[in-house]
Structure 1
Amino acid sequence: MILKLLPFIFIGILILEFYVYQAVKNLTKNKKIKLGYWLLNLTLYFIIIYLFITYDKNTRDPRHMQWLFSLFVIFLIPKILVSCILLIGDLFRLVEFIFKKSKTQSAKFPSRRKFISASALALGGLLSYSFIDGIVWGKYRHFIRRLKIKIPNLPKNFKGYKVVQISDVHSGSFAHPEKLQHAIDMINEQKPDLLLFTGDMVNAYAEEFEPFVQLFSQLKAKDGKLAILGNHDYGGYGKFNSKYEHDQNVPKLIRLEEQAGFKVLRNEHQIIQRGAEQLYIIGVENWGLPPFPQYGDLDKAVEGIPHSAAKILMSHDPTHFDEKVKTHPSNIALTLSGHTHGMQFGLDLKNIKWSPVQYKYPKWADLYESNGKMLYVNRGFGVIGYPGRVGVNPEITVFELY
């Protein structure tokens, strides 16, 4: 498939480079700068091609693909932005040339072209820097999101109960577990009553979590730590040497998570007891729209739970909420999900929230309400693919129930 697209990719890159080089030409006549520009570009293209043709699909080391993703977003995406700005400028000039054929207007073209070129390259450079910042620092900028959530029929003993949610660790994307120590400390500083992990502890292989067991063992919560599986935890994105090895991947991951102190819920529930009162935590396996697996069985998970009981559901994929949960007769007040990561890119401000992922997942980050039920989508703890975060920082969510 990729081989068939190569001619189109090559033509697209030529057009892209033509436009960006026009901006460079508009700003300088220095031959050494122009030569340096092409030498840098040819070197980077050589590295990208080398990484692409030497990629081993069977490798379990993510660094090769991370380098490929990183160079793509740092080097090519900013050029697309530059080209779009220059193209818009060219279209405006074309319109002016057709409808305002005056010497005064024509005289303005070179200076305006220079300004547009400088602005486009500056914005492209800023975007490139933001991608670099996201790799080096952004993926470690964990923040605390605090919410007070009203749970219908919540027993008095659970008023003020503190639940911490994390999601999408993707431990295989981190080469140095110790760099996440600050995030572990942030969680413990919240002194949670209960810690909930909503899936994707690994990218594909259970062994990815082995170096992180000791780190996540440090997490403390008065009433324990509960977890569910996400789509990546089933090993569907990995290459295994045998069916037996594949079949042992999930049991191995569960054992490792148990060593770190988590109890993994697989279409079942856990009762949290305070005196004679109960809070029900429900955990389903992954349920997502195709091509994501639909292993979640909500009917099985809620068996034996009183209809009027206070309930919180852990379900990795937020599409489960709209497709099944909000109309389910079990009457679940709050669903906690992850999965989207906020695409690790976007604007996540107080009054402005945007990410490309919202065109696939309308409920992609923060709190939503529908049919009198609530869904919270965590922005994720880790990264996958592009090994960084730009504008959408990794999240630790603290819920206070009332």
Structure 2
Amino acid sequence: MLRWIIFIIAYIALGLYTLQALKTASRYPWVHYLFMVVSILVLGNFIYQFTVGEEPGRVLSRSKSYAFGFLLTMLIFFSVTILFLFSEDIFRFFTGVYHKVFGGTKEFSLPQRRRFLSLIALGIAALPFGALLYGMYRGKYNFKVLKYTLEFEDLPEAFDGYQITQISDIHSGSFDNRKKIEYAVDLVNQQESDLLLFTGDMVNNMTDEMRPWAELFTTLKAKDGKFSVLGNHDYGDYIPWETEEEKSQNLEDLKELQRAMGFDLLLNENRYLYKGKDKIALIGVENWGRGGFKKAGDLKKATAKVAEDDFKILMSHDPSHWEDVVLKDKVHYHLTLSGHTHGMQFGIEIPGWVKWSPIKWRYRYWAGIYKELGQFINVNRGFGFLGYPGRVGIWPEISVITLKKKPLT
């Protein structure tokens, strides 16, 4: 209760401070009242969703996600505006002190706020405010096909030009627009790849989240089949279960559902893909994550009967597994495919110039292609979304990777 009281007081204080900029910039009272009404509604909805309307679990439900998203949008607007106001108020304070000490009247008085600074503050604050709203309205379904060509000296000849489509982090429990998901599934199929690989997190918590979408995702296709692995959310670790048996059954149901959808689910297993006399090994591990994340991935078990000189593609949900385990393993994995980070669903990407997201402070390998010790990883930015119900700058991704044989020099 005390935390709620402190939070409400802080929110109201920030809102009232921000209101000063609006009063300086606009002489119309209805603008001030509209701001106050919207601010109160956002706060009220957030309190309701996270108290009376609360659903148990560490993963936000759809209604809680939107309540969080709108609150985040308002807080960003407050913060950017206040940054300007506070800077000006410091100047106004020292101006008042100067007049008190050195002025003719020896009175302490604050100069009026300058309207143009309030307008600048509100204008700049409107940029992230609008971006976050756009992210919730359109950004989360702004699917992008990102294409990569990777060269390997030891790629089997028959696989030169082999094309792989990777998707990751579906998070079906967050979907709220069927037409957009149908469009994305069609976009995947339009790539006409040889292989389709899904690298985990089909649901947020429960198998039932995927059932309304299962028939649609069953239509995903690739010439040589589609394969999947589990992500950390697929184990159901983020909500309470009445019994361990119920939780275990949920996981078994998800495994069966994936198989019914046509996925060959690799649980610390491997498969061989053949073209004539040539072959490549496809290896899939269960989730292995740094810190408190589940560590069910077992490379040794997954590579049983895989020869050392085989060309290997590894599916592992969390890229920290690649950094902490795979790169240090005695086995050489030519290409690892991961997801998990979502690129934090927020950042700035301008190809060839800038690629930034706050997630880089947690994950060294957080989006796109990286190469270390002669081994590649692609960290897919995710198909779906979780928590904040949107995306800004880091769009939902369909990765298309073409394997090429590098000429010997």
TM-score (normalizing by structure 1)? 0.92
Q: How does 1:139-150 map to 2 (within 5 A)?
A: 139-150=140-151
Structure-2 change in CA distance of 1:93 and 1:201 (3 Å): same
Secondary structure of residue in 1 paired with 2:50: helix
Aligned residue among 363, 368, 384 for 1:382: 384
Q: How does 1:221-260 map to 2 (within 5 A)?
A: 221-260=222-261
Q: Is 1:206–1:253's contact at 8 Å kept on the other side of the alignment?
A: yes
Which residue of 1 is the match for residue 322 of structure 2? 321
Aligned residue among 363, 370, 373 for 1:371: 373
Which residue of 2 is the match for residue 69 of structure 1? 68
Secondary structure of residue in 2 paired with 1:248: helix
Q: Find the aligned partners of 1:186 and 1:180 in 2 and give their Cα distance.
A: 10
Q: Find the aligned partners of 1:324 and 1:61 in 2 and give their Cα distance.
A: 30
Q: Find the aligned partners of 1:52 and 1:386 in 2 and give their Cα distance.
A: 15
Which residue of 1 is the match for residue 32 of structure 2? 34
Q: How does 1:129-278 map to 2 (within 5 A)?
A: 129-278=130-279
Q: Is 2:155–2:311's contact at 8 Å kept on the other side of the alignment?
A: yes
Which residue of 2 is the match for residue 49 of structure 1? 47
Q: One-letter code of the match for 2:89?
A: D
Q: Find the aligned partners of 1:182 and 1:96 in 2 and give their Cα distance.
A: 59
Q: Find the aligned partners of 1:364 and 1:61 in 2 and give their Cα distance.
A: 22
Q: Find the aligned partners of 2:384 and 2:93 in 1 and give their Cα distance.
A: 46
Q: Is 2:347–2:358's contact at 8 Å kept on the other side of the alignment?
A: yes
Q: Find the aligned partners of 1:193 and 1:96 in 2 and give their Cα distance.
A: 70
* 1:397 aligns to 2:399 (yes or no): yes
Which residue of 2 is the match for residue 282 of structure 1? 283
Q: How does 1:287-306 map to 2 (within 5 A)?
A: 287-306=288-307
Shift of 1:360: 1.0
Secondary structure of residue in 2 paired with 1:74: helix
Kindly provide the CA deviation profile for residues 86-110 of structure 1, in whole angstroms up to 9, marking residues without a partner as x.
Answer: 223434555777789899xxxxx75
Q: Is 2:334–2:375's contact at 8 Å kept on the other side of the alignment?
A: yes
Q: One-letter code of the match for 1:285?
A: E
* Bigger Cα displacement from structure 2, 364-373 vs 228-237: 364-373
Q: Is 2:269–2:285's contact at 8 Å kept on the other side of the alignment?
A: yes
Q: One-letter code of the match for 1:189?
A: Q
Secondary structure of residue in 2 paired with 1:327: coil
Q: Is 1:171–1:202's contact at 8 Å kept on the other side of the alignment?
A: yes
RMSD: 2.5
Q: Find the aligned partners of 1:180 and 1:102 in 2 and give their Cα distance.
A: 67
Structure-2 change in CA distance of 1:268 and 1:34 (3 Å): same
Q: Is 2:46–2:64's contact at 8 Å kept on the other side of the alignment?
A: no
Secondary structure of residue in 2 paired with 1:241: coil
Which residue of 2 is the match for residue 106 of structure 1? none
Structure-2 change in CA distance of 1:372 and 1:38 (3 Å): same
Q: Is 2:60–2:387's contact at 8 Å kept on the other side of the alignment?
A: no
Secondary structure of residue in 1 paired with 2:149: strand
Structure-2 change in CA distance of 1:32 and 1:166 (3 Å): closer
Which residue of 1 is the match for residue 107 of structure 2? none
Q: One-letter code of the match for 1:73?
A: L
Structure-2 change in CA distance of 1:252 and 1:102 (3 Å): farther
Kindly provide the CA deviation profile for residues 137-185 of structure 1, in whole angstroms up to 9, marking residues without a partner as x.
Answer: 1111111111111234110000000001000000010134342111111
Secondary structure of residue in 1 paired with 2:32: helix
Which residue of 2 is the match for residue 84 of structure 1? 83
Q: Is 1:341–1:378's contact at 8 Å kept on the other side of the alignment?
A: yes
Q: Find the aligned partners of 2:38 and 2:149 in 1 and give their Cα distance.
A: 52
Shift of 1:35: 3.1
Q: Find the aligned partners of 2:285 and 2:91 in 1 and give their Cα distance.
A: 54
Q: Is 1:138–1:388's contact at 8 Å kept on the other side of the alignment?
A: yes
Q: One-letter code of the match for 2:185?
A: I
Shift of 1:63: 2.6
Q: One-letter code of the match for 1:84?
A: L
Shift of 1:283: 0.5
Q: Find the aligned partners of 1:329 and 1:248 in 2 and give their Cα distance.
A: 36
Structure-2 change in CA distance of 1:28 and 1:234 (3 Å): same
Q: Find the aligned partners of 1:362 and 1:117 in 2 and give their Cα distance.
A: 39
Q: Is 1:152–1:333's contact at 8 Å kept on the other side of the alignment?
A: no
* 1:22 aligns to 2:24 (yes or no): no
Shift of 1:211: 1.1
Secondary structure of residue in 2 paired with 1:147: strand
Shift of 1:228: 0.3
Q: One-letter code of the match for 2:349?
A: D
Shift of 1:253: 0.7
Shift of 1:366: 0.8
